[in-house]
Amino acid sequence: MNTYASRSDVPEGEKWKLEDLYPSIEAWEADVQEIGHMAEGLKKYDGNIHNGQTLLSYLSKNEKVSFLFNKVAAYAMLQVDIDTRDSFAQSLQDRTKQLGVKLSAATSFFMPFLLNLEEATLKKYIDEEEGLNYFERDLFEAYRYKAHVLTKEKEEVISQLGEALSSPSHTYSMINNADIKFGDVTNEDGEKVELTRGMYSKLIENKDRDKRREAYKAYYQPYVQLKNSIASTLAAAVKNNVTIARIRNYPSALEKALFSDFVPKEVYENLIATTKEHLAPMHRYSQIRKEMLGVEELRQFDLSVPLVEGVEQDICFEQAYATMLKALSPLGEEYTRTLESFKDARYIDVRETPGKRTGAYNLGVYGVHPFVLLNHHDDLNSLFTLVHEMGHAMHSHFSHKTQPQITAKYSIFVAEVASTVNEVLLIHYLLEQVNDEKMRKYLLNHFIDKFKGTLFTQVMFAEFEKITHEKAENGQPLNANVFSEIYESLFREYNGDGVVFDDEVKYGWSRIPHFYRPFYVYKYATGFASAIHLADRILKGDQETLASYLEFLKSGSSAYPLELLKKTGVDLTSPEPIQNALKQFGELVEEFAK
């Protein structure tokens, strides 16, 4: 595997070409100045929009400034992520943030102005000024929020409370990222060292059970010690969600969270109910795991260790890219040809280097192209990560190429569909290619664990959020004991009686940062189920599904997420897509059991 001591050692072809955004720092600087002037100009529209002409003028300038701002912010972010220690890059990002604050202050008058405007008046403006047709859907979308937007004075009060309302999340983040000290574990030389998160993710997959147990205990130690402090931040976050939903006249915190995507709460409830009807294969998988590991009692620290050993493959980046193109060939020539071009055009930053941001992501920049960050390790996991992120990148590419700026960005609700369809096609391709029985088992195990983490675990989290918010809405207390009771009973229900509980299990809620973004995790599960459904059809050669899926990739946010998915044949208002995915999970477990 290639490890690089410095960025200058990485081949040019494996680094981003940031010149595609700005040829020089001077060009970036010029746009920053321009945005500052434009923000001043936008402010002058406050109180001065009286007809279709001035409304169009404001909206057009606002769109232009947001186009520039996205470019400026992307450049700063990518520079920081190349080396998070670089103080010059950090200064670019700080300036972008200040610019963002200036922009949102300059345009904050617009939403209250629009909602005070009679719909008949807005229609008149649109009839007068042809150019307003372009903005029509967005303008009327704002009226959906009318019942939930308060008076100008109350809105100002809420916006001033913004920092206070986000403090539970901020406090948790400080506890979780800065202050937590994990317990000690024994290293290779038999010395005691403090556990880190990076070490934990490796040790919890270690073949040596004592090492797993030691890492598990050390990892949970601070969460158990701090359970009351963390419970108070989580309880405050939940109560804040409930209070704001009430002030804004939503029936519940859940419905407030689903409102922007126009998703009825039945979709959320149906996801939980359908998953719970299909828990038997999950319980069966726990049994298989217990037998294969040869343990008398299966415990939580046994749930992440791979069940098949000795099949680690070396897959260099060139080979990974070639494999991806073959695996995705069912998506047609336009898709694979476009994807092939991304590599030489240097849309991807491939290698891990000192100071580079960890993980992987895709950032689509409208009017330029997608930028993909990887930390490629020449192994199977890196191949899956590549295929996943390139799914997002292709979604950005097609939507940006086909849609005007106003509808080019896709919603988070549909984001995971494009990445997961690619992963499903990859696993099918790899299983078809493999002759070695052991490798086949390894791939099945990999996919079953992915399925479990993306669907079952996220649905369990979604149910935890639903129960805790309902308790707050009914004025019931929320504290460490309440959270632990709910979490433990859900964990038992989802994982089955095959797992023997250590005391730590019930504190799982205390280590999940997603709980501070209310009702977000369910989108992983709906996206995953939708993707399984689509990939299945595409692999069976269903041309109609393929055509509608490629159309979906080009749709951005031109309709609400559920509508976009419906056009591909996935109807999340019915239990069918979830049932199909869960049925496939059962089949995978059965095949693995054989």
How far is residue 167's CA from residue 234's CA, in Å, rounded to a whole number? Answer: 11
At residue 243, the pLDDT reads 96
158 lies in the same domain as 306 = no
How far is residue 265's CA from residue 24's CA, in Å, rounded to a whole number? Answer: 49
Amino acid found at 156: E
> Residue 528 belongs to what domain range?
250-311+436-594
How far is residue 395's CA from residue 534's CA, in Å, rounded to a whole number? Answer: 15
Backbone phi and psi for residue 362, each to the nearest 5 degrees, phi listed first:
-120, 135
CATH code, 89: 1.20.140.70
C-alpha closest to that of 91 among 8, 25, 15, 6: 25
- Total structural domains within the chain: 2
For residue 410, tell me if it sits in a domain: no
At residue 1, the pLDDT reads 52
At residue 110, the pLDDT reads 92
Which of 128, 148, 165 finishes a domain?
165
At residue 2, the pLDDT reads 60
Q: Tokens 């960025």, residue?
A: 7
260 lies in the same domain as 157 = no
For residue 11, tell me if it sits in a domain: yes
C-alpha closest to that of 524 among 455, 471, 450, 468: 455
Average confidence (pLDDT) per 10 residues, the chain, 594 residues: 82 96 98 97 96 97 98 97 92 92 88 91 96 96 90 79 86 88 91 88 91 96 97 98 96 97 96 97 95 95 89 89 98 98 97 88 97 92 95 98 97 94 96 91 92 95 98 98 98 93 96 94 94 95 97 97 97 95 95 91
CATH code, 282: 1.10.1370.20
Task: Please answer whether residues 417 and 352 qualify as being in contact, where contact means their C-beta atoms are separated by less than 8 angstroms.
Answer: no
How far is residue 434's CA from residue 445's CA, in Å, rounded to a whole number? Answer: 14
pTM over 0.85? The answer is yes
Task: Please answer whether residues 323 and 343 qualify as being in contact, where contact means their C-beta atoms are separated by less than 8 angstroms.
Answer: no
Q: Tokens 């749930």, residue?
A: 303
Task: Please answer whether residues 55 and 62 qualify as being in contact, where contact means their C-beta atoms are separated by less than 8 angstroms.
Answer: no
**DSSP H helical ranges for 403-456:** 412-433, 437-451
121 lies in the same domain as 266 = no
456 lies in the same domain as 570 = yes
For residue 136, tell me if it sits in a domain: yes
C-alpha closest to that of 355 among 17, 79, 12, 19: 79
User: Where in the sequence numbering do the catalytic residues fall?
Assistant: 389
Q: Is 181 exposed, middle or buried (0-12, 13-18, 19+ CB in 10 A)?
A: exposed
At residue 311, the pLDDT reads 77
How far is residue 39's CA from residue 47's CA, in Å, rounded to a whole number? Answer: 16
146 lies in the same domain as 275 = no
Backbone phi and psi for residue 571, each to the nearest 5 degrees, phi listed first:
-110, 100
What is residue 499's three-state secondary structure?
A: strand
155 lies in the same domain as 11 = yes
Which of 122, 146, 165 finishes a domain?
165
Instruction: Tell me how far CA of residue 84 lies from CA of 12, 87, 173, 353, in angstroms.
Output: 20, 8, 18, 11
For residue 306, tell me if it sits in a domain: yes
For residue 184, tell me if it sits in a domain: no
Instruction: Tell me how far CA of residue 453 lies from CA of 71, 213, 230, 315, in angstroms.
Output: 34, 21, 24, 24
At residue 15, the pLDDT reads 96
Amino acid found at 569: G
Instruction: Tell me how far CA of residue 218 lies from CA of 55, 215, 224, 507, in angstroms.
Output: 60, 5, 10, 14
DSSP E strands in 119-212: the ranges are: 184-186, 192-194
Q: Is 41 exposed, middle or buried (0-12, 13-18, 19+ CB in 10 A)?
A: middle
For residue 593, tell me if it sits in a domain: yes
Which of 111, 138, 165 finishes a domain?
165
